[in-house]
């Protein structure tokens, strides 16, 4: 959401030449634009689809290091305010301080986060490649506070040798990103962030999802149409918070630099709602994934409409302006047609309450439910 829609990086039409101005970037070809936008759509769909599937097993996991973070209605209502303050703060930082030093700090921060996220993403796939006789040892990283009966766990992370191999491979991508800022390395981290977000961030019910999407709908529209803050931050922020794809790839190859972009928020926010609908489908025990596929198609429609409108008006578009009505409206129409609106809005994530007695980290979730 930091950059609300795919942006055309080419020069505006009809610009008159002037001697002092630098050479204008040649406009993207229709083929290059089609390849860039098509690739962005595909990259957006992958973490939503696979993240939603992984969210189902994540909800049933008893491993404290893989427990999902539950978003309550109170969290959802506060999120647009927190996001607005963060966005405005970043904008002011870029205006006051040197962009070079800010991006250096951000690069180091996202370097660490990106390695951890990518390692977690590739771990299931890599586990299938290890031979059966691979010497796999278990490890546990435990930080506690206090002593005796007042001892409290701060960090309790379990991992094994296979995870360390994944961490090493991810570190190679991290160094590549840190040194070159190459768009492929950026996208690997961006895809990992998106998939982890969809997998590990869980809405507790459909009403909470509607509150979150509705609030961010207003947030996105205001900061894109009302000000230049979001577009400025997105273009200044050298961090893997957006997926990018060059529109001049066919002409310049991997060294292309005329990028279309899509903010990760436009993937993760609708994605966690789509993942919720998949878990709702499973709870119905009808062996169908009607609401998941409906919302998935709705996302494709909304993102395609965003790109079409942006191409027509040659202006950055708040993607949630089109994604939110589609992702909420399509499944709601299906629920109305099937007479399952009551079931949809009464559905509550049941995995977290069931695991409270046996999981030491579940107390905050129970407290969140009381706040609601």
Mark whether 220 is an active-site residue: yes
- Given a contact cutoff of 8 angstroms between Cβ atoms, the answer to whether 344 and 335 are in contact is yes
Cα angle: 70, vertex 210, 90; to 5 degrees: 70
Mark whether 257 is an active-site residue: no
Neighbouring-strand partners of residue 152 = 145
- Given a contact cutoff of 8 angstroms between Cβ atoms, the answer to whether 235 and 248 are in contact is no
Helix-helix angle 99-127:183-200, to 10 degrees? 60
- Given a contact cutoff of 8 angstroms between Cβ atoms, the answer to whether 73 and 372 are in contact is yes
Helix (H) or strand (E) holding 316: none
CA-CA-CA-CA torsion sign (283, 124, 208, 337): negative
- Given a contact cutoff of 8 angstroms between Cβ atoms, the answer to whether 319 and 5 are in contact is yes
Q: Of residues 75, 163, 248, 266, which has the active-site annotation?
A: 266
Q: For tokens 């008006």, what's the residue?
A: 313
Distance CA 56, CA 8 (A): 36
Q: Of residues 75, 163, 220, 248, which has the active-site annotation?
A: 220
Burial state string for 221-236 with b = 16 or more CB within 10 A and e = fewer than 16: bebbeeeebbbebbbe
Phi/psi at 144 (nearest 5 deg)?
-125, 160
- DSSP output for 157-169: EEEEHHHHHHHHH
- Given a contact cutoff of 8 angstroms between Cβ atoms, the answer to whether 33 and 260 are in contact is yes
Active site residues: 220, 266
């Amino acid at each position: 959401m930091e950059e609300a829609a795919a942006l055309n990086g080419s020069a505006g039409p009809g610009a008159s030449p002037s001697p002092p101005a630098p050479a204008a970037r040649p406009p993207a070809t229709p083929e290059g634009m089609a390849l860039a936008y098509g690739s962005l759509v595909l990259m957006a769909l992958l973490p939503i689809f696979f993240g939603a599937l992984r969210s189902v097993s994540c909800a049933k996991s008893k491993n404290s290091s893989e427990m999902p973070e539950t978003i309550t209605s109170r969290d959802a209502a506060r999120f647009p305010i927190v996001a607005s303050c963060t966005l405005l703060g970043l904008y002011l930082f870029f205006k006051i301080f040197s962009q070079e030093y800010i991006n250096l700090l951000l690069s180091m921060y996202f370097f660490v986060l990106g390695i951890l996220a990518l390692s977690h993403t590739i771990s299931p796939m890599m586990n299938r490649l290890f031979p059966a006789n691979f010497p796999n040892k278990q490890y546990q990283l435990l930080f506690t506070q206090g002593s005796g009966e007042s001892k409290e766990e701060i960090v309790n992370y379990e991992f094994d040798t296979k995870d360390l191999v994944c961490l090493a491979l991810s570190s190679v991508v991290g160094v590549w990103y840190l040194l070159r800022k190459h768009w492929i390395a950026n996208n690997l981290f961006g895809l990992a962030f998106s998939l982890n977000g969809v997998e590990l961030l869980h809405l507790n019910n459909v009403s909470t999802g509607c509150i979150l999407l509705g609030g961010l709908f207003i947030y996105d529209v205001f900061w894109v149409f009302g000000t230049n803050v979001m577009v400025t931050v997105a273009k200044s922020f050298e961090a893997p918070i957006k997926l990018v794809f060059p529109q001049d790839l066919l002409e310049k190859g991997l060294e292309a630099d005329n990028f279309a972009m899509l903010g990760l928020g436009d993937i993760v926010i609708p994605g966690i709602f789509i993942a919720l609908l998949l878990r709702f489908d499973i709870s119905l025990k009808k062996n169908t994934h009607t609401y998941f596929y409906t919302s998935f198609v709705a996302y494709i429609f909304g993102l395609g409409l965003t790109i079409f409108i942006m191409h027509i008006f040659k202006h950055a578009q708040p993607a949630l302006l089109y994604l939110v009505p589609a992702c909420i409206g399509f499944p709601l129409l299906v629920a109305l047609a099937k007479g399952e609106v009551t079931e949809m809005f009464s559905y509550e994530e049941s995995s977290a309450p069931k695991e409270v007695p046996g999981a030491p980290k579940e107390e905050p979730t129970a407290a969140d439910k009381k706040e609601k």
